[in-house]
Amino acid sequence: MTTPRIGTVLWPMRSWPEAGELWRRAEDLGFRHAWVYDHIAWRGATPWYDAYTTLAAAAAVTSRVRIGTLVTSPNFRHPVPTAHAIKTIDHVSGGRVTVGIGAGGTRRASDAGVLGGDDWTPGERASRFAEWVELLDLLLRGPETSFEGTYYTAREVVQEPGCVQRPRVPFVIAADGPRGMRVAARHGAGWVTGGHAEGRAPQDVVRSRLAALDAACEAEGREIADRILMTGFSGEPWLASAGAFADLAGAYAELGITEIALHWPRPGTPFDADMDVFEAIAAEYGGDARPG
């Protein structure tokens, strides 16, 4: 049975250089990828540092592990400065950055609405997401982009010398609904889900979402190789023991999941876990921290 490759989600809550030690530790443990949330704040957690600044610093103190956001959203970022930051981090990292992108939450979420204005309807949020990803794709492919959309505009934006990774850095699209799946199928090198839906078994949720993704990819005539499950939201005991991890990872591999993202243990929260178990899982199933 093939076990999915593993990565970790690091919390942007420690100042430098302590945070830098955590990123180096993630690389040394052998995680294939290390991610950071992109929010102004998250569920009242403080302190909370900027994702892109953190990634630039992490890129400078690591050399093998892929780094990225899980996930960037249109809530408070415009595609033009976001593309500029991504291109820069791709150069600092030597071509190791992957950009996770999602539609973002509502005003009830901690960073939605911080720029003012009314909340977006679900339809508008989905439309903004699709246009945001489309423009970011154009900007990162360059060399010069002009774009007049319904929500976003770019005028003669020069991105030379462009990304290290060609034609641009890879996107991992967070999508559970039909419109988001179409965005993933059109633009994504990867897809990510949390596998949670109220009243449904997590594996049933992921099975149905993978089927929807396959259908969207078939319609676009594309394949998405990396299918990532972000753990920690479904109530499953991923970090209870190495055996529990192996059982769950094997079950999701059979469904078609290729990558598992484990949250770095955070004491006093639902993401707490035995660090010895966490490191044992990394030692046994990691060892794949390399570009590509």
Whole-model pTM: value is 0.95
Range of the domain at 213: 5-285
Residue 112 within any structural domain of the chain: yes
Q: Assign residue 103 the CATH number of its domain.
A: 3.20.20.30
Residues in the chain: 292
Number of domains in the chain: 1
Q: What is the pLDDT of residue 291?
A: 36
Residue 107 within any structural domain of the chain: yes
Residue 200 within any structural domain of the chain: yes
Report DSSP letters for the chain, one per residue: -PPPEEEEEEPS-S-TTHHHHHHHHHHHHT-SEEEE---S-BTTBSS---HHHHHHHHHHH-SSSEEEEEEE-TTT--HHHHHHHHHHHHHHHTS-EEEEE-----TTSTTTTTT-SPPPPHHHHHHHHHHHHHHHHHHHH-SEEEEE-SS-EEEEEE-TT--SSSSSPPEEEE--SHHHHHHHHHH-SEEEE----TTS-HHHHHHHHHHHHHHHHHHHT----EEEEE-SSS---TTS-HHHHHHHHHHHHHHT--EEEEEPP-TTSTT---HHHHHHHHHHH----S--
Residue 99 · residue 171 · CB < 8 Å: yes
Q: What is the pLDDT of residue 289?
A: 40
Residue 151 within any structural domain of the chain: yes
Looking at residue 136, its amino acid is: L
Residue 157 within any structural domain of the chain: yes
Q: Which of 67, 87, 88 is nearest to 24 (CA)?
A: 67
Residue 99 within any structural domain of the chain: yes
Q: What is the pLDDT of residue 115?
A: 80
Alpha-carbon gap, residue 131 to 123, rounded angstroms: 12
Residue 236 within any structural domain of the chain: yes
Output the tens digit of pLDDT for each of the chain's 292 residues. Answer: 578 999 999 999 999 999 999 999 999 999 999 999 999 877 778 899 999 999 999 999 999 999 999 999 899 999 999 999 999 999 999 999 999 999 988 766 667 777 877 788 999 999 999 999 999 999 999 999 999 999 999 999 998 899 999 999 999 999 999 999 999 999 999 999 998 888 899 999 999 999 999 999 999 999 999 999 999 999 999 999 999 999 999 999 999 999 999 999 999 999 999 999 999 999 999 864 433 3
Residue 292 within any structural domain of the chain: no
Q: What is the pLDDT of residue 290?
A: 37
